[in-house]
Structure 1
Amino acid sequence: MWIWPRQPRPQVRGPLRGTAALALTAALVLTGCAPSAPASTAAGGEHDTEGTVIFYDTSGHATLDPATAANDRNMTNGLMPALYDNLVEFDDDGKPVPGLATDWHYNDDLTEFTLEIREGVRFHDGETLDAEAVAANFERSISLLDQASTTLHGAFDFVTEVEVVDDHTVTMHLDQPNGQIEYWLGKVAGMMISPRAIEESGDGLELDAVGTGPYKLSSFVPNNRARLDRFDDYWDGAEGRPAHLEHHRVSEGQSRLNAVRSGQADLSLIAPRQIPEAENAGLEVLVNEKNSIWTIYLNINRESLSKLKVRRAIMHAIDREGLAEAISYGSGKPATQLVTELSPIYDEELAERYPYDPERARELLAEAGYADGLEISFLLLNTSEYLQLGEALQAMLGEAGIDVQLDVIDLSQNLMFRPPHERGDIMMVRRGAGADALEAYQEVVSSYGTGTQGAPVTPRIDELVEEGRLINADDPDRQELLEDLNEEVVEQAATFPVITRSNVYAYQPGCITGIEPNAGYVTDKLDTVKIAGGCS
């Protein structure tokens, strides 16, 4: 995590070539700035506890129910940690640490997972968190598996019984080993809802979010805005937090930046291309580096994409270094793997596997039977960041003989590429490897994932994912398995990574602190954001 200083940006090392360069030149002014040391804390060390943080985001929430698939997606879950605590949290290195559960353990064969539940925690409606409340949440999740997210499936697919051992101990009994549960419970599967709300609201929880988090819901307009009030009885303390938090969905990037400049918003997520403009306006820009990638899901039910040479041609047709320099303004790096340099399974040799080579791409297409070119439908979300990158990729692939037809959809339709939907051959997403790299591969390239259309590109991927699920996360053999899985995915071009992605924020200098990375997701934590004294 670092702050951009107000100084000219160094010259670009390797400019884009050909049509791709023209596409970007029309949209970009290549000036900017370079990273420096992290910023200091709030001015004077004091925080405004009576104010409201107004945050303008690229995306919103259709519901506030942790069980829904939309809230498991990386780009639509930023608000959830403010409302709900997890049974398991992650430290800065992505290691599972206590949350609402103070301890946990498996039995020897990984078919039982026992949690010790924290005492003295209350929900926003006054209900007590205990083993019965946790069991009620687990049972609800199991009942919703036919419509639930990948995370809920990962946590509960194999659960045959939820046992309340005593007031603060719960055991999950499984019909087969599962060594990933603590990672799944660090995401939406481990967000606890009030048992009273479960009983009274049922499927209505989308509009009545009652958790144990540091904020409680005041009002909610789906896919538009939410207002939260500080929960002063929060078990982990409310000190320094603002009285209110407002989350607004504003898809258009210029509007988000203008809102911070005018004072309409305190904090905004901006596109990397807006860094120079934000700096020139006197705003502070924060870049949170993430274990996050711009990558492309592919539908291998399409005959062309089922061919390895076609997939490798697409990999060679992408000028990743040029994209990183021109589009991310130094906040991103070229990527050929689903993990970044922050991951212990990142492989330096695999990073060089697919150099930019449009001629080689054309050769591979010809060898695959597409000497006259290939047409691909590209499902693309309608935010400025997606559109800019998508249009640059369209131009690059065109240089290699691949005619990309952009099919632009609204951000609220981000689940459209889930099976068995037949619209689009490829779809670009910003994907976080999360705290557990296995989960990323499971989601993006295996038959277990919600983005995989058809079978994985090779059976070996499913075999390795399944082996990984059966190994305890602390087992040293798991590291080697994940390295093998990473290599298989890269060699088979099972997905098309593009560049790494950081979160870029703009705010008035010295006025916002506590924007902490969330190891489990691409989004960052809103529940830790604070306002410096004298800024509201």
Structure 2
Amino acid sequence: MAVAAVTAFAGCTSSGSTGSSTNAAGAEINELKAGVFLDVTSWDPANADIGFDGPYLSAVYDPLVSLDKDGKPVPGLATSWEWSADRLTLTAKLRQGVTFDDGEKFDSAAAVANLEHLKSGVRSGQAYLNVASVSAKDADTVELKLSKRDDALLYFMGLGRSWMASPAAIKAGKLTDGPVGSGPYTYDKANSAPQSQYVFTKKANHWDSATFPFPSVKLFPITDQTASFNAMLSGQLNMQFANAANLAKAKESGWNVASKPSSWVGVQFADRTGSQVKALGDQKVRQAISYAFDAAGILKAVGNDSGTTTSQLWVKGSQVYDDANNGKYKTDMAKAKQLLADAGYKDGFTVKMPMSPIFAAWQPAANQTFGELGIKVEWQDMAMPDYQKNAPTYPMFIAVIAMDGDDMATLTDQVTSAQWYNPNPSVDAFPEVKALVQKAETAEPGQAQTDALKQLNNKLVDLAWWDVWYQADNTYFSVKGITVTPMTGMMFPTLRFIQRG
């Protein structure tokens, strides 16, 4: 795929025409040429992946709800909304005068059709787990009834789970062939080549035109970051999903560099109750593993020091994130061995763990650390698609898991709801955790809820709910004249966060 993408650059892009040497002022950059790492997963918002599909979908679809640079929900096709007193009913007013590319009108009926489609979606449905029903109150008003209070709903909608498509295209199943939206750009299918390049031309009279400054956008999926970096050097790209190892060269080139925490890296304990491996049900054993790993060393050796060593996974900078927790599991092999001995595992134990080539960089550190503890790991090799499918069936596994920029979304995604990496949340097996979860979920949004989440965060760190080594940053390079605002929760930011300047 990377070779195909680079070949497409050579045939379809003029070398150096918008490189850093000609764009110091920024005004003349009329075409965004972005290396976005992965190909589009699906043009159907119900099947799309939030992580890397954002730039593709944001070109051709409008969302009901957007996010601002701080990750707070702001109006999109929904111009305003309000919650009922019990926060179980969300009523939204809709923008008028919007038409889909096939001539279909956007109104409350279209919004309902989309929300029902998203709720039933294999991927998008995760955002609507607590939505019981959706109905049209009048032509420009929709109402969402919830079965349970969900303070993260609007965030998930803004993150990439409220793109609106033509209801006729949804009904006909046409979104598998290409997008049918009302977004700021028209997809130029004739000049696009799937897996190589995607071309978009700006519409003349889009309602949110000012948010999207580039007359033309070209997105290039390039998984090979060396090829992507070379394309930046030659001017074939003017913005890319970057490798932090190239940071020095990027600064030498005078490029802008933007970074933000994106995922946590470490060991996911899928068996905190000890149902598969009795030892892992003991808090001391999980703590021992947490003390044993040299997180800072792993971040430097594998992560190019692009991130923050920490024992928690509420994102750094969040009000819930507590610096005091970061010293909890400072590397101490002697203490780790003593904890294992205190738990009755002086000589360690045996455990099976999955392994895939994409995680091979962390395997030597895991082998050394578990070896020193006397924990005998039987690695089960598998391909990456099988890893994601099978890893959580093992008692523990090496994980790189996306984080959220919203505190309640972090609670939902990482603790309480079933995810591929956490198919059996074990909250009910830990009464103290369950009580703190309920406290956070019922607290008044604001400081009271933040305080409750802090208490929960402290308890989870103490329990070694996970063995977090570090929060990894995503990094983006752009030429002078283009600024990128990274967003935790988006592996690649949507187009509204890529601006001139």
TM tier, shorter chain? 0.7 to 0.9
Provide the rounded CA distance (Å) in 2 between the counterparts of 1:175 and 1:340: 28
Q: Which of 430, 442, 452 is the matching residue for 2:412?
A: 442
Provide the rounded CA distance (Å) in 2 between the counterparts of 1:261 and 1:404: 43
Q: Indicate the residue corresponding to 1:287 in structure 2.
A: 258
Q: TM-score, normalised by structure 1?
A: 0.77
**2:380 is equivalent to residue 401 of structure 1:** no
* 1:488 Cα deviation after fit: 1.9
SS in 2 for 1:517: coil
Q: Indicate the residue corresponding to 1:157 in structure 2.
A: 130
For 1:252-286, what per-residue CA distance to the aligned partner results, in whole angstroms no more than 9, with x for missing partners?
Answer: 43333333334454433233233345556x46361
Q: Is the 8 A contact 2:258 2:486 kept in 1?
A: no
| TM-aligned CA distance change 1:54 to 1:148, over 3 Å | closer
Q: Indicate the residue corresponding to 1:348 in structure 2.
A: 323
Q: Indicate the residue corresponding to 1:487 in structure 2.
A: 458
Q: Indicate the residue corresponding to 1:45 in structure 2.
A: 26
User: Which runs of structure 2 are paired with 1:455-474 in the superposition (5 Å)?
Assistant: 455-456=425-426, 458-471=430-443, 474=445
Q: Is the 8 A contact 2:44 2:176 kept in 1?
A: yes
Q: Which of 228, 240, 262 is the matching residue for 2:213?
A: 240
**2:150 is equivalent to residue 178 of structure 1:** yes
Q: Indicate the residue corresponding to 1:25 in structure 2.
A: none
| TM-aligned CA distance change 1:185 to 1:142, over 3 Å | same
| TM-aligned CA distance change 1:307 to 1:398, over 3 Å | same
* 1:490 Cα deviation after fit: 0.8
User: Which runs of structure 2 are paired with 1:106-117 in the superposition (5 Å)?
Assistant: 106-117=83-94
Q: Indicate the residue corresponding to 1:308 in structure 2.
A: 283
User: Which residues of structure 2 form unaligned runs of 5+?
Assistant: 1-19
For 1:52-101, what per-residue CA distance to the aligned partner results, in whole angstroms no more than 9, with x for missing partners?
Answer: 514141x3343233223x614x4665533333332222222222222221
Q: Percent identity?
A: 26
Letter in 1 for 2:310: A
* 1:336 Cα deviation after fit: 0.7
For 1:407-439, what per-residue CA distance to the aligned partner results, in whole angstroms no more than 9, with x for missing partners?
Answer: 565555574258xx63573141142232x2222
* 1:311 Cα deviation after fit: 1.3
Bigger mean CA deviation after superposition, 269-278 or 304-313: 269-278
Q: Indicate the residue corresponding to 1:71 in structure 2.
A: 49
| TM-aligned CA distance change 1:526 to 1:154, over 3 Å | closer
Q: Indicate the residue corresponding to 1:190 in structure 2.
A: 162
| TM-aligned CA distance change 1:110 to 1:140, over 3 Å | same
Provide the rounded CA distance (Å) in 2 between the counterparts of 1:64 and 1:424: 35
Q: Indicate the residue corresponding to 1:428 in structure 2.
A: 399
Q: Is the 8 A contact 2:130 2:148 kept in 1?
A: no
* 1:198 Cα deviation after fit: 0.8
Provide the rounded CA distance (Å) in 2 between the counterparts of 1:285 and 1:319: 32
Q: Which of 389, 393, 400 is the matching residue for 1:416?
A: 389
Provide the rounded CA distance (Å) in 2 between the counterparts of 1:399 and 1:209: 53
* 1:486 Cα deviation after fit: 0.9
Provide the rounded CA distance (Å) in 2 between the counterparts of 1:75 and 1:391: 29
Q: Which of 236, 258, 267 is the matching residue for 2:230?
A: 258
| TM-aligned CA distance change 1:40 to 1:187, over 3 Å | farther
Provide the rounded CA distance (Å) in 2 between the counterparts of 1:246 and 1:195: 26
Q: How many residues align?
A: 472
* 1:531 Cα deviation after fit: 7.6
**2:108 is equivalent to residue 131 of structure 1:** yes
Provide the rounded CA distance (Å) in 1 between the counterparts of 2:104 and 2:393: 45
SS in 2 for 1:53: strand
SS in 2 for 1:212: coil
Letter in 1 for 2:65: V
Provide the rounded CA distance (Å) in 2 between the counterparts of 1:345 and 1:41: 43
Letter in 2 for 1:443: D
Letter in 2 for 1:502: D
Q: Is the 8 A contact 2:102 2:166 kept in 1?
A: yes
SS in 2 for 1:499: strand
Provide the rounded CA distance (Å) in 2 between the counterparts of 1:469 and 1:155: 16
* 1:131 Cα deviation after fit: 1.4
* 1:227 Cα deviation after fit: 0.8
| TM-aligned CA distance change 1:496 to 1:125, over 3 Å | farther
Q: Is the 8 A contact 1:302 1:425 kept in 2?
A: no
User: Which residues of structure 1 form unaligned runs of 5+?
Assistant: 1-38
* 1:312 Cα deviation after fit: 0.9
SS in 2 for 1:339: coil
Provide the rounded CA distance (Å) in 2 between the counterparts of 1:305 and 1:321: 24
**2:25 is equivalent to residue 55 of structure 1:** no
Q: Is the 8 A contact 1:47 1:531 kept in 2?
A: no
Provide the rounded CA distance (Å) in 2 between the counterparts of 1:275 and 1:308: 40
Q: Is the 8 A contact 1:272 1:504 kept in 2?
A: yes
Q: Indicate the residue corresponding to 1:120 in structure 2.
A: 97
Higher helix share: 2
SS in 2 for 1:186: helix
SS in 2 for 1:105: strand
* 1:309 Cα deviation after fit: 1.9
Provide the rounded CA distance (Å) in 2 between the counterparts of 1:98 and 1:462: 34
| TM-aligned CA distance change 1:230 to 1:394, over 3 Å | farther
Letter in 2 for 1:130: D
Provide the rounded CA distance (Å) in 2 between the counterparts of 1:489 and 1:76: 32
| TM-aligned CA distance change 1:322 to 1:56, over 3 Å | same
| TM-aligned CA distance change 1:230 to 1:306, over 3 Å | farther
Root-mean-square deviation (CA, aligned residues, Å) is: 3.4
